[in-house]
Amino acid sequence: MFANGVKVLSALADPTRRAVFEALPQGPRSVGELAELVGVSSSAVSQHLKILREARLVMAQPEGTRRLYGLDPRGLADARDYLEQFWPSAIASYSAALSSAHADIAET
């Protein structure tokens, strides 16, 4: 069920790939623009985009003779769904830590 959420996190683990991904919220960009922003070759960006597409984090839109890449909300939803499974235990741990801290303060 959460397989693509794991794939998303794995895709974003690479710093260059994450930089490519983080360059896209401002709007769709071409491979050349991404290469210039990230400081790697167009070939390298293309390889990173392939992995980001497989994780459904980016999608390509043809525009004339080139493709523009933008964020794909499906992958972001997959990552959110994956991480949400940990939220209840994280809140419980935070609550327990606050209770313990309040108890320590009350004792002093």
Q: What phi-psi label fits residue 32: left (phi over 0), alpha (psi between -120 and 50 degrees) or beta?
A: alpha
* pLDDT tens per residue across span 17-38: 999 999 999 999 999 999 999 9
Contact 8, 79 (CB under 8 A): yes
- Distance between CA atoms of residues 100 and 95, nearest Å: 9
- Distance between CA atoms of residues 89 and 75, nearest Å: 24
User: In 1-108, at which residue ranges do the beta strands (DSSP E only) sit?
Assistant: 58-63, 66-71
CATH dotted code for 3-107: 1.10.10.10
pTM for this prediction: 0.79
pLDDT of the residue at 100: 84
* pLDDT tens per residue across span 47-60: 999 999 999 999 99
Q: Angle at CA 58, nearest 5°, toward 54 and 24?
A: 150
- Distance between CA atoms of residues 63 and 41, nearest Å: 21
Domain map (residue ranges) of the chain: 3-107
Share of the chain above pLDDT 90, in %: 62
Residue 29 phi, psi dihedral angles, 5° rounding: -140, 155
